[in-house]
């Protein structure tokens, strides 16, 4: 009888302990659901605030907010070309910097004739390193630079293994993707600080979000730009400077020519013109954004993907693109 009583008592104690654990787990589950609900509401609000509300209100006066001139690096094609046009449509004077003089002159004339703003060009090759920056500094000396768009960048010929890259390509990725943004900011930021206003846009990439196999050096260079932008904002926001990390996903530009699908405009792959039209509206609103509403949805979803799953998916996709590019031969 004593054994039965002892067992009954033990059973009751176990039951009470289990109830306690169940209640604790239920509380943790409820808190998690609340957290996820709050995150969903916040993400939805962010999406609407960034990409829809700005289209319903009067466009801000960028000249008054930041200054008379904008500098756009890598401005003859892709995002840079159309970002420059968007700024010019808001009456900002444009300085285009790239290595192709003929294309620079043609685009400068087009912008000046279409938008009735002043334009200037600087012909340099950012892959040449430090020797070009005294030339740029001299050309910009008398201009009130209110907006700097660090768009210039280089990519792989196609996704590939790191050891297949040439040494020249590795140095080009470092010199252009990282060095150019640092040197341009170091050159132009003091004038902004003196005037206590200005905006810097550093064009990063979706590959900065998590490690991206077969784009290793490229994604690392873009991660640098993302962290550089975010830290720079904390340093200089109190002095009136807005710094934005712009994180596009796939855009239909010549960088994507290795893929038949990604080089064509689609629902998730906008043209550079469409992308720039959206991205400019986020200037002064978000410090870190994809610039395009569909890309923002992908970015928000990507934040919940574990690193190993992102890396696995990126490897599978990039390896498919690598094989596709290899089958096409040189281009």
User: Residues with catalytic annotation?
Assistant: 218
Nearest to 95 by CA among 114, 113, 76: 76
CA 31 – CA 198 distance, rounded (Å): 42
Angle at Cα 26 formed by Cα 25 and Cα 28, nearest 5°?
65
Nearest to 125 by CA among 180, 69, 183, 202: 180
* Interacting residues of 89 by C-beta distance below 8 A, sequence separation 6+: 115
Distances (CA, A) of 289 to 177, 284, 299: 19, 11, 9
Helix (H) or strand (E) holding 273: helix 272-280
Q: Counting Cβ atoms within 10 Å, is residue 79 exposed (0-12), middle (13-18) or buried (19+)?
A: buried
């Amino acid at each position: 009888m004593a054994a039965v009583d002892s067992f009954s008592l033990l059973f009751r104690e176990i039951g009470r302990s289990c109830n306690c654990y169940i209640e604790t787990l239920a509380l943790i589950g409820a808190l998690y659901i609340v957290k996820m609900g709050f995150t969903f509401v916040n993400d939805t609000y962010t999406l609407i605030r960034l990409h829809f509300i700005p289209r319903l209100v009067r466009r801000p006066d960028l000249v008054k907010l930041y200054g008379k001139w904008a500098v756009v690096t890598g401005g003859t094609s892709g995002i840079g070309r159309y970002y420059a046009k968007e700024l010019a449509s808001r009456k900002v004077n444009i300085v285009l910097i790239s290595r192709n003089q003929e294309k620079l002159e043609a685009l400068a004339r087009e912008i000046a004739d279409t938008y009735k703003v002043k334009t200037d060009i600087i012909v340099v090759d950012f892959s040449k390193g430090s020797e070009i920056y005294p030339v740029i500094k001299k050309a910009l000396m008398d201009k009130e630079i209110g907006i700097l768009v660090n768009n210039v960048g280089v990519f792989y010929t196609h996704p590939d293994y790191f050891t297949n890259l040439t040494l020249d390509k590795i140095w080009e990725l470092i010199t252009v993707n990282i060095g150019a943004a640092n040197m341009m900011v170091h050159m132009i930021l003091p004038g902004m600080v003196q005037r206590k206003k200005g905006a810097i846009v550093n064009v990063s990439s979706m590959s900065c979000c998590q490690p991206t196999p077969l784009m290793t050096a490229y994604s690392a260079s873009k991660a640098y730009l993302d962290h550089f932008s975010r830290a720079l904002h904390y340093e200089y926001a109190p002095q009136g400077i807005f710094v934005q990390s712009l994180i596009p996903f796939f855009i239909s530009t010549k960088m994507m020519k290795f893929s038949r699908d990604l080089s064509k405009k689609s629902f998730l792959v906008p043209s550079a013109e469409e992308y720039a039209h959206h991205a400019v509206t986020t200037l002064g609103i978000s410090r870190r954004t994809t610039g395009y509403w569909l890309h923002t949805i992908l970015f928000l979803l990507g934040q919940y993907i574990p690193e190993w799953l992102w890396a696995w998916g990126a490897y599978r996709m990039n390896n498919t693109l690598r094989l596709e590019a290899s089958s096409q031969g040189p281009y």
